[in-house]
Structure 1
Amino acid sequence: MKKSRVKQLCAVALAATLGLSVLAGCGSKTSDNKSAATGTDKQELMFNLGSDPKTLDPGLNQSVDGSIVIVNAFEGLYKLDDKNKAVPGQAEKCDVSADGLTYTFHLKKDLKWSNGDPVKASDFEYAWKRVINPETASEYSFQMMYIKGAQEYNTGKGTADQVGIKATDDSTLVVTLAAPCAYFLDLTATPTYMPLDQKIVEANKDWATDAKTLVSNGPFKFTDYKIKDQIVLEKNDNYEAKDDVKLSKVTMKLVTEPTSAWASYKSGQFDMVYDVPTSEKAAAIADKSATVFPELGNAYIDFNVSDKQVDPEAAKALKNPKFRQALSMAIDRQSIIDNVLKAKQVAAHSFVPEGIIGPDGKDFENKKYFDPKGNVDEAKKLLAEAGYPDGKGLPQITLLFNPEGGNADVMQPIQDMWKKIGVNVELQTQEWKVFQDTRTAKNYQIARDAWGADYADPMTFLDLFVSTSPQNNAGYNNPVYDTLISSAKKEADATKRYEMLHQAEDMLMADMPIISLWYSNRTHGVKDYVKGIRKDMLGNIFFTNAYIQGKK
């Protein structure tokens, strides 16, 4: 998910900005950690995660909520430190060949699963090949396509034995890439690359829904999981760095309604909440009952431009670039940020967000593709050019979104802005789990979407829209775009690679299968007695070094 290894892609300044810890007072000092471990405070944290994760299977997960759980229970070969740098996790070290194609990982000694089974190199080989296996149908399999033979196996043109992943003994994993990848070590820190205890997974079809079979190798282990109620993690005494873990228990509640969860937080029932209601953010940030965390991500709207359309008239409009551009131009993003979100987001003017530093030391963002404040007159002009002057002749179109996280507060003003140019859309909601499936199946017309980086490189955003990407919810299909992205993945020259990626974004913004809205951050409610929480730029929250100090 991040990026240090063969080449450093992000500047130290970016890491310092995005690697954030909530350390009130002097909580970052070792002496404070010791007092937390030996003091009178009960080392149990009650956290409202909010949405119920669709899955806790690392190889199938594709959402931030699931990732937050997974990164606290599992650990990959590498992990990210507090500067978002990839450092050894379950691996002791990694040797990289001179040509950048072969990675030899050496595991630490005496690693164990939470059930006491030994963690072996073959657990990584099994888990990674399981993601690639087409029968697994992992929507994150695209993150494995850097590995030699993975594309062929995933598309039925090769076998598992031909994939460049091999455990040569219990402590050595040799990985061969199809082409050099500057951020491969970062990828090994992501949930998709987490290991699995093969005998547990193969013996239990529904292993990821039961705490008894959710065997993990990270700082915490699962002790309870009740869907739509709670996920309970307790300190994993089999974790190799268990002495760094101060909390004895993290209870993640799944209260989906932010207002209800916030009321519980204010009354002291929660120590931390993931979502702060939109109407409460400004005041909460001001009185420091909530904290704004930077993230490398964006919020956007998908147009269904695929052939999977039920209404041919709606499909005709949605596939018209002028129509899509008109709707984008009609949105005043800054107004939404100032009057609705109120949490210091940055209005988007591109798809790749600000904050990714290129080989020239400059931000990848190099142009403004549109005015973030919009332009109603220009939007009306584009709509007329699309064949729908003042919206005349348009069929009924529906904007679909999940209600969790206060999304209705944003979609309603967007609906009003579109109405000003004559485009009337109906708002419709679906529960998060259902919504994800609906969007993936492209059984919608227009839908809310968002993406958080998996690693600090423009590719994590731009390869979403290749025609074969499982995350291409818009159904965008442009062979020239596909070729550009494929070529960029193989290009060793960093400057040339960035030139290709700029061309790809130019193409994406011209075709506009999506409307980019704002660059993300996230406001969490965190009590001042909760110390040592770490939030990375990808949106993950780590409880490994967290502790309670001074709770009344």
Structure 2
Amino acid sequence: MTACSSGSDGGSADGKTDPNAVIVGNNSEPQRPLVPADTNETGGGLILDHIFAGLEYYDVKGNPQMEVAESIESEDNQNWTIKIKGDTKFSDGTPVTSKSFVDAWNQSVKQSMLNASFFESIQGYDEALKVAEAAIEADKENGVGDMDMSGLKVVDDTTFTVALNQPESDFPLRLGYSAFYPLPEAGIGDRAKVKAYGANPITNGPYLVKKDSWKHNEQIELIPNPDYKGDRMPKNGGVTFKFYSTQDAAYNDLQSGALDVLDAIPDSAFGTYQDELGDRSVNEPSAIFQSFTFPKSDARFQGEAGALRLQAISMAINRAEICKTIFQGTRTPATDFIAPVIPGHNDSLKGNEVLKFNPKKAKELWKQADAIAPWTGDLQLAYNSDGGHQAWVDAVMNSIKNTLGIEAKGAPYPDFKSIRNEVTNRTIKTAFRTGWQADYPSPFNFLGPLYGTGGSSNDGDYSNPDFDNLLKQALNTSDQKEAFKIYDQAQEILMKELPTIPLWYSNVNGGWAEGVQGVQFDWHSKPLYFDITK
């Protein structure tokens, strides 16, 4: 796998750095309180990855490395024994034990949190989730299930076991993702207690949230954790994440020195930022996939006519031209649903001609759909204005409009949190921007959470039993080449049904200010802030 990294040679005139200097980076306002299993968007995820230590962490190339775990072992890939280090603790002084993991994982299912589906491989998940859903239906505000997953057992303070429904050789690969982070007793309880915990989290990672520093829609301050003992030891005096309303404002701050590191260059600077920043810039492939999705509530995209319309819209988009003119080579047109830096990506997938610009075919398919159920209304694509998306949304909508002869336009939301709230609550009425920044380097991570029945990020509520079964088969295949062939079969189903419209893969486009050193962008485009100095 290609690492998305670049080093900085900048620094002070004498080459020395200040170990107490605070690094200022960009981010977006988290959608929800900082609870690992209830966070599935990048704003909150970036913070969580710096304030928690999990069983593993992912290095710059995406390889899992032991962090709190001492060992993760199995003789059959189905029954796992996990031993943790006995000398780590949370910031309130309580020890991190095997119970800290088991309770956190069970709680995610009992409260049907956003990332609950990451535990679906564990025995007893389905039963525990049904109990939870019944409790939530009875009391939508406070309902909590009372059944634990039978496949999780605490052996002692430093040992627990995990029994899966079937052998899955890549199970350890997932354990560095934030859904699997531990929680202290202060974070276990009813919904009100957990929500309060997430506003002022007690954590065990390289950094801690500075008390009362989370100023919503402005910034959050992280300070080094003096009790952290892992490999990600901070080399600086803390990190302040600023929440910007536009990427242009963030880039201007980077140029003026008010921002130290930027991980998203605005489209207005795509053609100039590498010249302006020189060797303080990066433009490398990353594990990011971009798309847009239609809500299940939109009947125009259901049934036979809906399937034809989805194919027509996909073929009406000139991806290559948009990547060239809008993104100026910082994006690559999609050929499948998995980013090219991930093993298992296939640019020759059967059926992927639906992703190629074909105006003639698009018009034919649209006409066939109209013969079944005439088109009504217009087509709108929702996006967050703080993410630098207007130019490409306008270009995509114009491509569709000019090809199909329908009214098509963008529908801007002020910020990422606003649009995600409507998507999460299933109240959004228009198509909406979607994308995926990998949680761990596996084809399954690009497929299961997004399109598996009940997946944590299955925003279009797509469900196909054949697709689900293929994913299970792939997970249960120890030969990776064979697994990749099964993932291809699963993707061929997606190509026919298009639960989302694939657009392109993103490079990491970022930069850093003068005097900033040690900047590395990792395999999924995020800076390793603990390593940065100035």
Which of the five TM-score ranges fits, normalised by the shorter chain?
Answer: 0.7 to 0.9
Cα separation, 2, equivalents of 1:475 and 1:334 = 29
2:509 maps to which of 503, 523, 536? 523
Cα separation, 2, equivalents of 1:540 and 1:437 = 23
1:458-499 Cα offsets, whole Å, 9 max, x none, are 211222212322422223233332333333333445444333
Greater Cα shift, 98-107 or 117-126: 98-107
In structure 2, the residue matched to 1:6 is none
The 3-state SS of whatever aligns with 1:300 is strand
Alignment of 1:329-340 (within 5 A): 329-340=315-326
The 3-state SS of whatever aligns with 2:153 is strand
In the alignment, is residue 506 of structure 1 matched against residue 492 of structure 2? yes
The 3-state SS of whatever aligns with 1:104 is strand
Amino acid at match of 1:22: S
> Residues 265 and 510 of structure 2 are in contact (CA less than 8 Å); yes or no, is this contact kept in structure 1?
yes
CA positional deviation for 1:130: 1.0
2:281 maps to which of 283, 290, 315? 290
Cα separation, 1, equivalents of 2:39 and 2:187 = 18
In structure 1, the residue matched to 2:136 is none
The 3-state SS of whatever aligns with 2:113 is coil
In the alignment, is residue 78 of structure 1 matched against residue 64 of structure 2? no
Cα separation, 1, equivalents of 2:305 and 2:431 = 11
Alignment of 1:352-367 (within 5 A): 352-358=338-344, 363-367=345-349
In the alignment, is residue 386 of structure 1 matched against residue 363 of structure 2? no
Alignment of 1:449-464 (within 5 A): 449-463=434-448, 464=450
Cα separation, 1, equivalents of 2:304 and 2:524 = 31
Q: 1:350 and 1:115, CA in 2 relative to 1: closer, same or farther beyond 3 A?
A: same
Cα separation, 1, equivalents of 2:353 and 2:207 = 45
CA positional deviation for 1:395: 2.3
Greater Cα shift, 138-147 or 215-224: 138-147
CA positional deviation for 1:542: 2.5
In the alignment, is residue 446 of structure 1 matched against residue 431 of structure 2? yes
Greater Cα shift, 342-351 or 490-499: 490-499
Amino acid at match of 1:193: F
The 3-state SS of whatever aligns with 1:523 is strand
In structure 2, the residue matched to 1:407 is 389
The 3-state SS of whatever aligns with 2:90 is coil
In the alignment, is residue 238 of structure 1 matched against residue 227 of structure 2? yes
Unpaired stretches in structure 1, ≥5 consecutive residues: 1-13
Question: TM-score, length-normalised on structure 1?
Answer: 0.85
The 3-state SS of whatever aligns with 2:447 is helix
> Residues 387 and 416 of structure 2 are in contact (CA less than 8 Å); yes or no, is this contact kept in structure 1?
no
Cα separation, 1, equivalents of 2:508 and 2:401 = 29
Cα separation, 2, equivalents of 1:465 and 1:529 = 44
2:521 maps to which of 513, 518, 535? 535
Q: 1:538 and 1:494, CA in 2 relative to 1: closer, same or farther beyond 3 A?
A: same
In structure 2, the residue matched to 1:214 is 201
Alignment of 1:105-504 (within 5 A): 105-133=82-110, 136-156=111-131, 160-202=147-189, 204-210=193-199, 213-223=200-210, 224-241=213-230, 244-287=233-276, 288=278, 289-304=280-295, 306=296, 308-309=297-298, 314=300, 320-358=306-344, 363-367=345-349, 369-370=352-353, 374-387=357-370, 393-420=375-402, 421-430=404-413, 431-440=415-424, 441=426, 443-463=428-448, 464-504=450-490
Amino acid at match of 1:370: E
CA positional deviation for 1:153: 1.4
Greater Cα shift, 189-198 or 419-428: 419-428
Greater Cα shift, 287-296 or 83-92: 287-296
> Residues 122 and 149 of structure 2 are in contact (CA less than 8 Å); yes or no, is this contact kept in structure 1?
no
Amino acid at match of 2:121: Y
Q: How many residues align?
A: 509
Alignment of 1:11-160 (within 5 A): 14=1, 17-18=2-3, 20-25=4-9, 39-40=17-18, 42-94=20-72, 96-133=73-110, 136-156=111-131, 160=147
Amino acid at match of 1:341: F
Question: TM-score, length-normalised on structure 2?
Answer: 0.88
